[in-house]
Structure 1
Amino acid sequence: MVIVKGAVAGTMESSDVMITVRPQSGGIDISLKSTVEVCFGEQIVAVIREELERLGVEAARVEAVDHGALDCTIRARVTTAVRRACEEKGDVA
């Protein structure tokens, strides 16, 4: 998938994560701000990276602002933001 525009998914509520995806010429850059970064920062970044890989994203700038989201929530927010950024419509495969 190719990121063609910036997109956001998620909220700033407790137990959620706000994911912002923007186009980039090459590679994946992930920045994280999290209330639980000391304990779970590496895991959060790994989940984001895995989800981008699963979706076939090869170039993107991702900003995550986490407030204690579970892995399943992080994956859902990344998927939604990427689909919005690619302007994809329809069912998730």
Structure 2
Amino acid sequence: MKVGIAGTLESNDCIITVLESDKLIIEVKSVVYDFFGKHIESFIKNILDELKIKNIKVICEDKGALDYTIKARLITAIKRLEEQK
């Protein structure tokens, strides 16, 4: 199975792992999930919509990352996944 990973588990960062999938799956594990979990999920979904990606599994392990960090990590992880194809 091909995998793309980007990020760290440092404070204010996140690790994004993307895997090939036959459907869209978004999992968020966050130290601030109660406050921002649903926002992170919808933010990731919106980025995937912009990129026209419908079949992928995204795992976000968040340590308080801001939106621009999540976006950069997601795009990098996707590019790393695509490089393996």
Q: TM-score range by the shorter chain?
A: over 0.9
User: Contact conserved, 1:55 with 1:79, CA < 8 A, in 2?
Assistant: no
User: Could you state the TM-score of these two structures normalised by the residue count of structure 2?
Assistant: 0.92
Q: Separation in 2 of the partners of 1:84 and 1:53?
A: 19
Runs of 4+ in 1 over 3 A off after TM superposition: none
Alignment of 1:1-93 (within 5 A): 5-25=2-22, 27-87=23-83
| Amino acid of the structure 1 residue aligned with 2:79 | R
| Unaligned segments of structure 2, at least 5 residues | none
- How far 1:5 moved relative to its partner? 2.1
| Unaligned segments of structure 1, at least 5 residues | 89-93
Superposition CA RMSD, Å: 1.4
State the aligned residue count.
84
- Pick the structure with more helix per residue: 2
User: Could you state the TM-score of these two structures normalised by the residue count of structure 1?
Assistant: 0.85
